[in-house]
Amino acid sequence: MTIRLHDIATRASVSTATVSRVLNGRPGVSPEAREAVLIAIDDLGYERPARVRTLSTGLVGLLVPELDNPWFTLLAQLIETSLARQGYTPVLCTQTIETLHEDDYVRSLVDRGVSGIIFVSGIHAVAEANPQRYSTLRDKGLPIVLVNGYLPGVDAPFVSTDDAATVDLGVRHLVGLGHKRIGLALGPPRYTPVIRRIDGFHDAMRRHLGANVGGLDVGDLIACTRYRVEGGYEAARTLLDRGVTGILCGSDIMALGAVRAVRERGLTVPGDVSVVGSDDSPFLEFTDPPLTTVHQDADAIGAAAVRILLDEIGGSPAPRAEYIFRPHLVVRGSTGPAPIA
């Protein structure tokens, strides 16, 4: 089928000159315009010319822990789309118990000649991890960016959410609703983000309520299980036994498990117990009740990770620092006034 430049330009809302540049692989086209032209070609039923199909400037590895957590799925999609717009082909690797270890994936990616790797909540998030695995990659000149976790001694940029601020937002919200005995449900304490949230929880509770809450030490109001629905359920059962009226969860899917645990006790959310999630996953306004959560800015985090990595690939190294993104609270129906004692 003969490609008509005018039809593509009209469909993509660009000039025919822009279409010509894209089809011939010439510079001077923004990533957004190039994407619009390619989508128009597909929509009109044209086959992409070979030159367009081979424009990729290289492969980029993307390692995420798993895709059961909708926030990781969203972040992976955002990073993949951003890389594709810049002409790179993302190679997604998910690290579940049933799949390959992170080191095995990295060896495979290096063998494929990737231009760089973005690690999301990988081994670098484990506080006692050996940084040598990442130093070895840097010694080879491979650009890397590490998201959600911090490991001293690694010659690479890090991108993280402000974990202490995440907990403070939840505590302040619940205290403002009259709650005094507030529990914290998190994943395993070997992870740096968990350690930071625990420290932030102690600090927030001291500032907003004092060190001792209803006869319990603040440490007694923390339950560490797993970042899964089942983990939130288990943690909530423990915290309910300690008389909490509000539960902060380390992820939205943990919060869903916490809601189930509350209801199994014959209690209501938020009438008897308020529940706060973390991440602001796409589906939360459709849960019952809609979940109050602390929004982690996946758009900003994903864009920053890609921008930093491409700068590194292009020979403009980013500062060896941790880029921190501040979250914000999204109030929905799962939190309400503390029950009257």
The total of structural domains in the chain comes to 3
Find the domain containing 232 and state its range: 163-296
Task: Tell whether 335 is covered by a domain.
Answer: no
Q: What is the pLDDT of residues 27-67, one digit of tens each?
A: 677 767 877 888 888 888 887 776 665 544 588 999 998 77
Task: Write the CATH number for 286.
Answer: 3.40.50.2300
Residue 3 has pLDDT above 80, yes or no: no
Mark whether 103 and 215 lie in a shared domain.
no
Task: Tell whether 339 is covered by a domain.
Answer: no
Question: What is d(CA 38, CA 19) in angstroms, rounded to the nearest whole number?
Answer: 9
The encoded tokens of residue 167 equal 């907990």
Mark whether 139 and 173 lie in a shared domain.
no
Asked if 58 and 83 touch (Cβ cutoff 8 Å), the reply is no
Q: What is the pLDDT of residues 196-252, one digit of tens each?
A: 999 999 999 999 998 667 677 898 999 999 999 999 999 999 999 999 999 999 999
Mark whether 217 and 178 lie in a shared domain.
yes
Task: Tell whether 172 is covered by a domain.
Answer: yes
Hey, how many other C-beta atoms are within 10 angstroms of the C-beta on 320?
10
Mark whether 312 and 250 lie in a shared domain.
no
Q: What is the pLDDT of residues 115-159, one digit of tens each?
A: 899 999 999 999 999 999 999 999 988 999 999 999 998 999 999
Q: Give the per-residue pLDDT at 57.
A: 59
Residue 79 has pLDDT above 80, yes or no: yes
Task: Tell whether 10 is covered by a domain.
Answer: yes
Mark whether 304 and 218 lie in a shared domain.
no
Strand bridging mode 322-325 / 328-330: unpaired
What angle is formed at CA 294 by the lines to CA 293 and CA 300, rounded to 5 degrees? 130
Mark whether 320 and 239 lie in a shared domain.
no
What's this model's pTM, rounded to 2 decimal places?
A: 0.82
Mark whether 144 and 34 lie in a shared domain.
no
Mark whether 190 and 43 lie in a shared domain.
no
Question: What is d(CA 227, CA 188) in angstroms, rounded to the nearest whole number?
Answer: 8
Mark whether 113 and 9 lie in a shared domain.
no
Task: Tell whether 133 is covered by a domain.
Answer: yes
Mark whether 72 and 23 lie in a shared domain.
no
Task: Tell whether 256 is covered by a domain.
Answer: yes
DSSP 23-92: HTT-S---HHHHHHHHHHHHHTTPPPPHHHHT---EEEEEEES-SSSHHHHHHHHHHHHHHHHTTEEEEE
Residue where a domain stops, chosen among 280, 296, 312: 296
